[in-house]
Amino acid sequence: MPLLSLKDLSLTIDEHQILQGISFDVEEGQIIGLIGPNGSGKTTLFNVISGFLKSSGGSITLGGEEISNLSPSQRAKRGIGRVFQNFGIFRDMTLEENILVALEALPRQQRKDLGDLKEVVAGTLDMVGLSDAGKKKAGSLSGGQMRLLEIARTLKAGKDLFLLDEPTAGVSPKMTGQVADIIKELKSNGKTVLIIEHDLPFIASICDEVVVLDVGKVVLQGTPAEVKESKELKEIYFGADPTT
Amino acid sequence: MDFFLHIIVLIGTFLPTILGYNLVFGKGKILHFGPMGVSVITGYCFIVTLKSTGSFSLAILSGLIAVTLISLLFAWLSLRLNQDAFGVMSIAVHLSALAVVLNWNSLTRGALGIPQIPRPEFLSSVADFAIAAIILSIVTVYIVRKIDKSSFGRQLQALAEHEWHAKSLGIDRNRVHVLAFIICGIGIFLSNLIYLPYLTLLHPNDYQFAGMVFYVMIVVAGMPGSVWGATLSTVLLLALREAVRFAPLSASVLGPVRLMLFGFILFVAVYYRRDTLFPKQRSI
């Protein structure tokens, strides 16, 4: 059974069809890349999966459970972790508080299973090399550090499915490698990742499969190599090839 | 001496309201302009029950029920309306409550207010009230500090900073808002519990919107969300408000001068705190 299954998902806002008949499955432990030109509906699809937008039709199941009618916080409690393009870090809180607030939002039993939350916080900071900055305001971090902290926080909060929206946006080239490493670490921990990216080599280097969206529809799906070689992808990004 | 004791009573009875309000408006960045509405409803429920039954226990119970219901109403409205609409609606609820109080003469005596409110036996003098106010202040500051540093405080702050990010972590906005409004309401009720028997008079003029502006000014001047800041500004601004009474000006001049002074303080406070007033997504 797939961890996440989207069936005929659609979204209409003010008579504009934003998403149309989106269907694909995400198996447990897979890293799936979601690509497409600006305005193709990638982030909107994330908003629908995480519950911030209510779909107009179709279904979303997580681990076999229908979640289409659940609120964003209920979906988060069922294991969906979201990493936002504009950094989901609370800048006025310290780094420690940023991690603590995520852990404290977990269901009671899951929180108990984690043991001493202070130790989990220390471990998370250590994971991203920020052990000495726990008492600092998160707003003082660089974009790359914020991104690493956000992903590590989501990992420690025990999420099963990660929705990463352009994790390398606003990150220095040096730190992009670290972001890729931490995403691979997610996979080695058995986590499932759906990732939106414009950086195709980056996507090709970490993903098992790629889904291409255009004008709210899935137009292509396959391994990174298959997608990279396909004529449709070139047409989507560069227009129709006049030589063919 | 009595004047200083009076100032202590005022500060002590204002603090629970201000610290509760600071939690919602300052830390939670919810545009709540209805604490006076909560105060007028709980105040009248408490005093009408007290006058009609003579029982403090029943009066407290009645006040607690009223504060819970009105706090739930505000929480419900805050969850269903956007920030600006809620701000306007909270003013509307306050003014509606005041209109009911002013016009339900058979129950509230309308614009005459309710005089001769009995005092509990252990609060017979100004000094007794001052001691009670000091104890109430210390307990309130201690409890609100604990709440501020608790997981609930962090969740409230996270929702204030970025609602979507907070929800994506699993933070339940409904639960946090309901708790925040109830804590704020209990603070307001505690203030009424001491202040009204101290005055021995419940008068609708004390619940006009100008009083709400004074609450906003205290919270903004003290740095929205800061417990110590709100405490300090309550002490300083209340002392200033009372001290201005002694200015060598005629009564007809004193009133407008006081209004202008506090208008100026509010302007300066909002100017310097403008980055801390609204959620990050929509700072002015």
Q: Does A124 touch chain B (CB under 8 A)?
A: no
- List the single residue in B161, B162, B167 with the smallest CB-CB distance to A72: B167
Closest CA to B152 of B165, B169, B171, B136: B171
Contacts of B165 in chain A (CB under 8 A): 84, 88-90
| Residues β-bridged to residue B115 | B201
> Testing the interface with B: which of A53, A70, A73, A84 to mutate, by most B Cβ within 10 A?
A73
Q: Which amino acid is at A163?
A: L
| Residues β-bridged to residue A213 | A218
Nearest CA in chain A to B156: A101
Q: Does B273 touch chain A (CB under 8 A)?
A: no
> Testing the interface with A: which of B168, B177, B283 to mutate, by most A Cβ within 10 A?
B168
CA–CA distance, B284 with B279 (Å, rounded to integer): 10
Residue B84: both structure tokens together = 């600006």
Distance from CA of B276 to the nearest CA of A (A): 10
Nearest CA in chain B to A91: B161
CB–CB of B47/B59 below 8 Å? Answer: yes
Angle B89-B95-B98 from CA coordinates, rounded to 5°: 145
Q: What are phi and psi of B150, to 5 degrees?
A: -85, 175
Angle A166-A170-A172 from CA coordinates, rounded to 5°: 115
Query: Which are the contacts of A167, defined by CB distance < 8 A and separation ≥ 6?
Result: A83, A147, A151, A179, A183, A195, A197
With an 8 Å Cβ cutoff, are A101 and B168 in contact?
Answer: no
Query: What local confidence, expressed as pLDDT, does residue B62 receive?
Result: 96
- DSSP β-ladder status, A209-214 and A217-222: antiparallel
Q: Does B79 touch chain A (CB under 8 A)?
A: no
Residue B28 lies in a domain: yes
Residue B246 lies in a domain: no
- List the single residue in B161, B169, B280 with the smallest CB-CB distance to A76: B169
CA–CA distance, B122 with A44 (Å, rounded to integer): 63
With an 8 Å Cβ cutoff, are B167 and A88 in contact?
Answer: no
Please count the residues of chain B: 284
- List the single residue in A71, A90, A157 with the smallest CB-CB distance to B165: A90
Distance (Å) of CA B88 to CA A55, B160, B277: 31, 19, 16
Mean pLDDT estimate for chain A: 88
What's the domain count of chain B?
1
What are the mean pLDDT values of chain B's consecutive 10-residue runs (284 residues total)?
A: 89 96 95 95 96 94 97 96 93 96 93 92 92 95 96 95 91 96 97 94 92 91 92 93 84 82 84 71 46
Q: Does B173 touch chain A (CB under 8 A)?
A: yes
Residue B102: both structure tokens together = 């002013």
Distance from CA of A154 to the nearest CA of B (A): 8
Contacts of B173 in chain A (CB under 8 A): 73
Residue B31 lies in a domain: yes
With an 8 Å Cβ cutoff, are B155 and A104 in contact?
Answer: yes
With an 8 Å Cβ cutoff, are B168 and A81 in contact?
Answer: yes
Chain A to chain B Cβ contacts (< 8 Å): 69
Q: Does B175 touch chain A (CB under 8 A)?
A: no
Q: Does A139 touch chain B (CB under 8 A)?
A: no
Residue B118 lies in a domain: yes
Show which of residues 128-147 on chain B sit within 8 Å of chain A, judged by CB atoms.
none
> Testing the interface with A: which of B169, B178, B179, B275 to mutate, by most A Cβ within 10 A?
B169
CA–CA distance, B145 with B156 (Å, rounded to integer): 14
CA–CA distance, A244 with B255 (Å, rounded to integer): 85
Query: What local confidence, expressed as pLDDT, does residue B16 receive?
Result: 97
Tell me which residue range forms the domain holding B19. 2-208
- DSSP β-ladder status, A31-35 and A209-214: parallel
Ranges of chain A whose pLDDT falls below 70: 238-244
Residue B162 lies in a domain: yes
- List the single residue in B154, B168, B280 with the smallest CB-CB distance to A88: B168
Show which of residues 157-196 on chain A sit within 8 Å of chain B, judged by CB atoms.
157
Q: What is the pLDDT of residues A219-233, one digit of tens each?
A: 999 999 888 888 877
Contacts of B171 in chain A (CB under 8 A): 73, 101, 105
The string of DSSP codes covering chain A is --SEEEEEEEEEETTEEEEEEEEEEE-TT-EEEEE-STTSSHHHHHHHHTTSS--SEEEEEETTEE-TTS-HHHHHHTTEEEE-TT----TTSBHHHHHHHHHHTS-HHHHHHT--HHHHHHHHHHHTT-GGGTTSBGGGS-HHHHHHHHHHHHHHTT-SEEEEESTTTT--HHHHHHHHHHHHHHHHTT-EEEEE-S-HHHHHHH-SEEEEEETTEEEEEE-HHHHHH-HHHHHHHH---TT-
- DSSP β-ladder status, A80-83 and A161-165: parallel
Query: What local confidence, expressed as pLDDT, does residue A12 receive?
Result: 94
- List the single residue in A51, A82, A104 with the smallest CB-CB distance to B151: A104
Does this complex have an ipTM over 0.90? Answer: no
Q: Does B171 touch chain A (CB under 8 A)?
A: yes
Nearest CA in chain A to B161: A90
Residue B81 lies in a domain: yes
> Testing the interface with B: which of A44, A52, A97, A101 to mutate, by most B Cβ within 10 A?
A101
